[in-house]
A and B are shown apart, each in its own frame.
Chain A
Amino acid sequence: MSPEQKKFMKNIKINKIKIMFWQLFIIITFFLIWEILVNTGVLSAFIYSSPSRIIKTILDLIKDHNFFIHIYITLKEVLISFIIGTSLGFIIAIILYEFPFLAKVMDPFLTMLNSLPKVALGPLIIIICGANTKSIILMALLINLIVSIITIYNGFLQTDEYRLKLFKTMHANKRQILFNLVIPSSYQTIISSFKLGIAQTLIGVIMGEFLVSKQGIGYLIVYGKQVFNLHLVMSGIVLLALISYILYKLITILEKKLLKHI
């Protein structure tokens, strides 16, 4: 390795460290300032809580053996609706792609469902499914399904026309074109739809938990609000932020593995 190349590689590393430093700096300063403002009485501890109080609340939750149950419940609901939503979305996208006439017919309905605020359906869902986990999962499903369908379907439509022509000149049948070309071409879009989907699912699950739940992080937040324990509300928000970041990161890892060569 030439000295210039070494320097170049070193610069990349230094840059990475710099970015991490500033990310940590921002988060630590944010929590520090928050803590100081509350402790000096500038902000009310009752309303704004504080990082130390949040940590204490979370430790109490762990001590009461409730902490992991709430996280487990929320994660379970997220995963179930995410898996159902993306698989259904994937299948429906294939059907729309294979039957362009159907896709044209369905277009206005999909657009309508996409822009409809699904939370408006909340009361209806509760009446139909009852005040239980089913309602929460259905809520989240309605939110992520439409996005999955539209994203994946549009990905299929982006298939390179030269590659399509190539397959046709090879006399490939519809199934071969779908599995050997259209789906692999859309790996990138499918992963993007996962990223969108996981965020949408979290929104749906928390919304559902706000409406009906007896457990879960959404429940913690609503319960905290009802008893005016804002430390609990803040803890819920912090936990949610962590969970959504971790879920997103997991998909990014999957993306790196799947899209190594593209």
Chain B
Amino acid sequence: MNNIIKIDCLSKNYHTKEGEIEAIKDFNLEIKEGEIISLVGPSGCGKSTLLSLISGLDKEFKGNITFKDKLKMAYMLQSDALLPWLTIYENAILGLKINHDLTKENLEYVDYLLKLYNLEDFKNNYPKSLSGGMKQRLALIRTLAITPDILLLDEPFCALDQQARLLISDDVYQICKKEKKTVILVTHNIEEAITFSDRVIVLSKRPAMIKNIIPINMANNSSILERRKDSAYQTYFDMIWKDLEYES
């Protein structure tokens, strides 16, 4: 597989009135096409900053981030960030509307996604009428609608209850595997990192440096729940736990 993103010697400093803060230091990483990776690390270590840099939201840094040509990236945030004054359908196509990309093909894909996640019948309702899990599903549809090559997930499941969390992270897992999307997931949840990804990157506390890279190999990759049952799960958990322990 080819590299889709290559990060070389990335460093990022923040300037505040109190002084300069080193957020990321000498960070190197290569991400392959279709790979799902997780970034775990102590809170405040700079995980989200890393995503902002990769996505181009934040353009001030030292080092190099190189991408394969013409990549489309989409972000999914901790909050569903739905717009309550728009209908469910209008929310789903928001990204397409902003990018003036409302082609027939894209709209058909949105219809397919709405059907897939049982939101089709509520198309003309407003987000107010949805449960927390359904809202995050709609946020997922909005993210996928622009047919991104890379999904940047910034703790997207952390505001959900356990059940919704498992169901929705499995939705995301399934569709990313099926459509061979590259995913970078930022999380503080070890369980999520193991069950969701092909590689777990453990970060040190600030400034963020790579502490360990753990490739995850499981026998049955059909779903998050199946991966959770895998005999290797506990071993991986202990490894990451140990790595993080020294950091807290």
In the docked arrangement, what's the CA distance between A48 and B55, Å?
A: 72
Do A184 and B57 touch (CB < 8 A)? no
Do B57 and A261 touch (CB < 8 A)? no
- Cβ of A18 < 8 Å from any Cβ of B? no
Residues of A within 8 A of B94 (CB): 170, 180
A168-B57, A169-B55, A169-B74 known; A163-B81 Cβ under 8 A: yes
- Cβ of B77 < 8 Å from any Cβ of A? yes
Do B81 and A180 touch (CB < 8 A)? no
For the residues of A in contact with B, the DSSP-based class is: helix
Do B78 and A261 touch (CB < 8 A)? no
- Cβ of A227 < 8 Å from any Cβ of B? no
- Cβ of B115 < 8 Å from any Cβ of A? no
Do A169 and B85 touch (CB < 8 A)? no
Residues of A within 8 A of B79 (CB): 160, 162-163
A162-B78, A261-B126 known; A170-B57 Cβ under 8 A: no
Residues of A within 8 A of B74 (CB): 169
Do A176 and B98 touch (CB < 8 A)? yes
- Cβ of A36 < 8 Å from any Cβ of B? no
A165-B57, A169-B75 known; A181-B83 Cβ under 8 A: yes
Interface size class of chain A, counting residues whose CB lies under 8 Å from the partner chain? 10 to 19
Cβ-neighbour of B98 out of A172, A184, A261, A262 (below 8 A): A172
In the complex, residue of chain B having the shortest beta-carbon distance to the beta carbon of A167: B98
In the docked arrangement, what's the CA distance between A165 and B94, Å?
A: 14
Contact with A along B80-123 (1 / 0, CB 8 A): 01011100000000110111000000000000000000000000
Residues of A within 8 A of B62 (CB): none
In the docked arrangement, what's the CA distance between A189 and B86, Å?
A: 18
Do B81 and A160 touch (CB < 8 A)? yes
Do B85 and A262 touch (CB < 8 A)? yes
Interface residues of B in 169-210 (CB under 8 A from A): none
In the assembled complex, the CB of B83 is this many whole angstroms from the nearest CB of chain A, namely 7
Residues of B within 8 A of A67 (CB): none
In the complex, residue of chain A having the shortest beta-carbon distance to the beta carbon of B96: A170
In the docked arrangement, what's the CA distance between A217 and B66, Å?
A: 72
- Cβ of B211 < 8 Å from any Cβ of A? no
Contact with B along A150-161 (1 / 0, CB 8 A): 000000000010
Cβ-neighbour of A184 out of B77, B81, B85, B146 (below 8 A): B85
- Cβ of B128 < 8 Å from any Cβ of A? yes
- Cβ of A166 < 8 Å from any Cβ of B? yes
- Cβ of A171 < 8 Å from any Cβ of B? yes
Residues of B within 8 A of A165 (CB): 57, 75, 77, 81
In the complex, residue of chain A having the shortest beta-carbon distance to the beta carbon of B154: A165
A162-B78, A261-B126 known; A171-B98 Cβ under 8 A: yes
Contact with A along B134-155 (1 / 0, CB 8 A): 0000000000001000001000
Do A261 and B77 touch (CB < 8 A)? no
- Cβ of A187 < 8 Å from any Cβ of B? yes
Do A180 and B98 touch (CB < 8 A)? yes
Residues of A within 8 A of B85 (CB): 184, 187, 261-262
In the complex, residue of chain B having the shortest beta-carbon distance to the beta carbon of A172: B98
Interface residues of A in 112-165 (CB under 8 A from B): 160, 162-163, 165
Do A262 and B57 touch (CB < 8 A)? no
In the docked arrangement, what's the CA distance between A167 and B77, Å?
A: 11
In the docked arrangement, what's the CA distance between A239 and B77, Å?
A: 54
In the assembled complex, the CB of A191 is this many whole angstroms from the nearest CB of chain B, namely 13
Residues of B within 8 A of A261 (CB): 84-85, 126, 128
Cβ-neighbour of A162 out of B57, B81, B84, B95 (below 8 A): B81
Interface residues of A in 43-101 (CB under 8 A from B): none
In the docked arrangement, what's the CA distance between A162 and B152, Å?
A: 14
Closest 3 CB pairs of A and B: A169-B75, A162-B79, A261-B126
6 CB < 8 A contacts A-B: A162-B79, A166-B75, A166-B81, A180-B83, A184-B83, A187-B85
A162-B79, A170-B98, A170-B99 given; 11 more Cβ-contact pairs under 8 Å? A162-B77, A162-B78, A162-B81, A163-B81, A166-B81, A167-B98, A172-B98, A180-B98, A187-B85, A261-B126, A262-B85
Which residues of A are in contact with B by a Cβ distance under 8 Å? 160, 162-163, 165-172, 176, 180-181, 184, 187, 261-262
Which residues of B are in contact with A by a Cβ distance under 8 Å? 55, 57, 73-75, 77-79, 81, 83-85, 94-95, 97-99, 126, 128, 146, 152
